[in-house]
Amino acid sequence: MTTEPRSTGRSRHLLLGTLLPVLIAAVGAAVGISWLPELPDPVAIHWGSDGADGYGSAWTLILIPLGITVMFTLFTELPLAQSRRRGGLTSNDKFLVVTRHFLSVLLTVGTIGSLAVQRGLADASDAPNIGGPMVFGAAGGISLAVLVWFLLPKAVPSRFDVEPEVEPLDVAPTERVYWARTVHVSGPVIVLICAVVVLSVGTVILTSIASDGGLPFVAWISAFVVVLSIGMSFWRVRADRRGFLVRGALGWPRVSIPAADIAAVRVVDVDPTADFGGWGWRWAPGRRTGIIMRRGAAIEVTRRDGRRLVVTVDDADNAAAVLQTVRSRVAS
């Protein structure tokens, strides 16, 4: 009885969620290639307030939308495949799917539109502003994302909603309980963060130099990005009689939940991409905030107002038991 709906849902996800965004980007690339004989060489690839101020090969604009769409689709497909095997896509999974469509349309319309305004020009410096294509790309991307959201199968409840509460520790009422850890992203993720930071900073600096931009300002922004990335990669987590405290390596961000405000404590299994859309300080449907450093066990603390904090930690069972003990003492 359930085979047909599940098969239909998978087919719908494959066609709408995976193939459609790639097809949109591929069609855009094909259109751009067909325009190559009509385009100046080089073409404008960057615009400032005074018009075109950066130039390069037309292939750059042609291939960027397709490359980014394919890479993002592949990057998000593995966790989504795991969710489908568990019974369906959650709201966060569906958000990842429709983000593919938004990116595909935004990049394709924006970049191909920037080529369209250069058709027939002898000099790319005469290219008009591309604000129009970018606005149309953003509007089209949002519209398609909303449409696909409703065409995909209905979201299934989050796995977190079915996890039982942990039991408190078997300790005397006068005994003190305390648990603390420093958590951080895994080595490969740190390498990935550093690579992205270096690539982004290098791109901005080179672009600024090419367009006579303000390098000192870029340097300040680059330093801020580096410091923020490091600060968000290491966290101190503590559970004791005062409640639950999580703070970044630099002292911020800082989340403190008093013991009297704790309504429930659970241990949950987290897939960073499927459950929160990635690593770091994240937000997800269901009033959840996540401090997600890795895949695996995490402690979920529910406040009395329904907000939830999820933190991936080693020894999550003991951390949750300590916090449950504290909550039980406050409630008694």
Tell me, which fold does domain 167-183+235-332 have in CATH?
PH-domain like (2.30.29)
Q: Give the pLDDT score at 109.
A: 94
Q: Give the pLDDT score at 55.
A: 85
User: What is the CB neighbour count within 10 angstroms for residue 174?
Assistant: 5
Q: Give the pLDDT score at 30.
A: 95
* Mean pLDDT for back-to-back runs of 10 residues, the chain (332 residues): 51 80 95 93 82 84 89 78 67 85 94 91 86 91 94 75 75 86 78 67 60 52 67 87 89 89 90 77 83 89 93 91 89 73
Cα–Cα distances (Å) from 67 to 29, 46, 107, 283, 310, in that order, read 10, 18, 10, 27, 33
Domain ranges across the chain = 3-156, 167-183+235-332, 186-232
Residue burial 9-26, b: 16+ Cβ < 10 Å; e: rest:
bbeebeebbbebbbebbb
Q: Give the pLDDT score at 1.
A: 38
Q: Give the pLDDT score at 72.
A: 86
Q: Give the pLDDT score at 223.
A: 61
| 262: helix, strand or coil | strand
| The amino acid at 3 | T
For residue 37, say if its preceding peptide bond is cis, omega within 30 degrees of 0: no
